[in-house]
Every structure is written in C-alpha cells, then in structure tokens.
C-alpha cells in the first residue's frame, strides 16, 4: 500500500486550474510524464496514465490514488495508430471525454554501435527514433482530434527537443522536427474548433533516485539508481546559461500552464524550459 502524500507537487501552491479536467499523459510511468501526472492531479485533473511498462504505470497510478486523485492506466505501444486510437477510446469510455492530451512519450533511442554522426547511424537507430518520437505523437494527435472537435474544446501539449539544432542524434532530431511541424500545422486546423496545441521543449533534466524503471530501448536494463547525473553541455547539447540541469517538475509546470485556461489564447507556440538554452528551429 502506497502511503498517502500531503502534496504531490508543491509548485502548484494550491492552484486548482485543472479542476474536473480529464487528461491523457503518455509515457507517464517515469520522468517528465510522471511529474506531469502528479502536477495534474495536484491541480484537480483526472489522469489516464499511458505507458508500455506496466510496473511504472501502476506505480504512478498508486501514487495518485493514495493522494486522493482519480487515475487509470493504459498499457501499450502507441507508435501504432491502432493502439493510439485504443488509448483515446479507453479514456472516452472510462471518463466520457478527453480535455487534455500530453504527448510526452519518447526520447533519444540509441542502439549500441549505432555511431555518432548521422551517416554513421544504423537504419535500426534511425527508424527506432522515428517510431518512438514522431509516430507516437502523430497517431495520438490523429486519434484525439475528432474527440476534441466534437467537444468543442481541448488542449494538446507535445514534447519537443533542442536536438533539432544538435549533433549526434539525427533520427531523434528528424522526429522532433516533425513533432514541431505537427504542432504548428494542427494549431491552424484545430483553431476553429477551440482546440489548442502547443509545444514544450525541455533540455537536460535530472531524475529523482529510483525514478527510471525502464530505458527507451525495450529490454535494456536501466543504470543502477535510475538515470545518471544530467549533463549541462557537450557536443550534442546546447549550453545552459543557468548552468544546471532542470527538473521534471519544472517542465511539468510549463505543461500545466499550457493545459490550463491560463493559456486559453495560446496555440501553435513553443515554450523552452532549458535554463536559457537556445531551442528554436
């Protein structure tokens, strides 16, 4: 039995901007997705936790329920359109609608021996990154748009990356460039229906001890204690003027703003949460 917590995210400071909202958060079993689910419940939302890794999804659900929130899990690989649609259908069947979709699932997909420069990457590395980052976002947007159009309201938050201007991650950069394009294109198409879509761009982030239960490559064992210390520079990373990595909670704060009515006149935009690191295309 998970012990109840008095507060899931103190940054909310008592705010209840998502009271009564139904949110689907992909990749919510750890990292930015977990922090976002916690912040959403702190602000009054009900959350559908979508993840391919059941132990992580169950852990977050138990945390939210122990706090007094309402949460369900959906287990599956949403890089296919069938599974993405099944996720949105499950949320609608369980809760009647979807007010918020957070397309967090993804991350740089590195395979051993895949090389560093783009032309040295293996086809498996390049395709793995596109499947893991572009299609997971594309199919979930495709599946949720008709639901939000029918409702006459909704907010979609996609996760971008500084890698679009970085080195050593060609497939990942290509996929995240596509996510950026999905955001700007759908913002125009969905605007007449009062559906907003925006982009959050994290940079290097720390992870709490034990947060990382699974890596981005299925079957790979995560490092002891979860993810190691987050770098603040290097050849593949834009330098961070604030000279420290961010935290998942800092990213979740930006996601929550875009999900809330505080951002009711904001669509097609990007927010960089990178300590001053340059992240524009």
Q: How far is CA 65 from the centre of its chain?
A: 21
**Domain assignment of residue 279, yes or no:** no
Between CA 250 and CA 4, with CA 14 as vertex, the angle to 5 degrees is 85
Residues 130-147: what's their mean pLDDT? 97
pLDDT confidence band for 194 (50 / 70 / 90) = very high
pLDDT of amino acid 10: 80
- CA–CA dist 244, 239 (Å, integer): 10
pLDDT at 234 over 60: no
**Domain assignment of residue 82, yes or no:** yes
pLDDT of amino acid 7: 78
- CA–CA dist 76, 142 (Å, integer): 17
Active-site residue, selected from the candidate residues 39, 172, 180, 187: 172
Which residues sit opposite 273 in a β-bridge? 202
Torsion of CA 178, 179, 184, 188, to 10 degrees: 100
pLDDT at 1 over 50: no
Who's near 236: CB < 8 A, 6+ residues apart?
163, 166, 167, 168, 169
Token representation of residue 88:
């949105």
**Domain assignment of residue 278, yes or no:** no
Query: Which residue range forms the structural domain that includes residue 121?
Result: 16-273
pLDDT of amino acid 221: 56
End-to-end CA distance of the chain: 46
Query: Mean pLDDT in the chain?
Result: 88
Residues 168-180: what's their mean pLDDT? 92
**Domain assignment of residue 94, yes or no:** yes
pLDDT confidence band for 240 (50 / 70 / 90) = confident
Question: Is 67 in the active site?
Answer: no
Say which range, 27-41, 60-74, 138-152, 226-240, has the weakest mean pLDDT.
226-240
* Residue 47, H or E segment: strand 46-51
Say which range, 7-21, 84-98, 118-132, has the weakest mean pLDDT.
7-21
Look at 127 and 107; give whichever has higher pLDDT: 127
**Domain assignment of residue 7, yes or no:** no
**Domain assignment of residue 6, yes or no:** no
pLDDT at 158 over 60: yes
Structure-token match 């090389």, residue found: 115
Q: By percentage, how much of the chain surpasses pLDDT 90?
A: 63
What CATH number corresponds to the domain at position 193?
Answer: 3.40.50.720
- CA–CA dist 186, 75 (Å, integer): 26
Domain count, the chain: 1
């Amino acid at each position: 039995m998970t012990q109840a917590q008095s507060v899931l995210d103190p940054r909310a400071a008592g705010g209840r901007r998502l009271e009564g909202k139904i949110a689907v958060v992909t990749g919510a079993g750890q990292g930015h997705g977990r922090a976002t689910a916690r912040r959403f419940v702190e602000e009054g939302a009900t959350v559908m936790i979508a993840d391919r890794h059941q132990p992580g999804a169950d852990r977050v659900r138990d945390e939210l329920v122990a706090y007094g929130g309402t949460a369900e899990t959906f287990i599956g690989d949403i890089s296919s359109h069938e599974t993405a649609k099944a996720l949105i259908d499950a949320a609608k069947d369980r809760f009647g609608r979807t007010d918020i979709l957070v397309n967090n699932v993804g991350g740089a997909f590195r395979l051993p021996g895949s090389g560093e420069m783009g032309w040295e990457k293996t086809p498996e590395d390049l395709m793995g990154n596109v499947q893991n980052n572009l299609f997971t976002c594309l199919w979930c947007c495709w599946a949720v748009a008709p639901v939000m159009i029918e409702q006459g309201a909704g907010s979609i938050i996609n996760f971008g990356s500084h890698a679009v201007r970085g080195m050593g991650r060609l497939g990942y950069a290509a996929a995240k460039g596509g996510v950026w394009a999905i955001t700007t294109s759908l913002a125009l198409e969905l605007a007449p229906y009062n559906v907003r879509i925006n982009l959050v761009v994290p940079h290097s982030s720390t992870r709490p001890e034990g947060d990382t239960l699974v890596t981005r490559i299925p079957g790979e064992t995560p490092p002891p204690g979860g993810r190691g210390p987050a770098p603040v520079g290097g050849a593949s990373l834009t330098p961070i003027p604030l000279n420290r990595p961010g935290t998942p909670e800092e990213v979740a704060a930006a996601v929550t703003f875009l999900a809330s009515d505080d951002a009711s006149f904001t669509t097609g935009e990007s927010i960089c949460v990178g300590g001053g690191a340059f992240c524009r295309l």
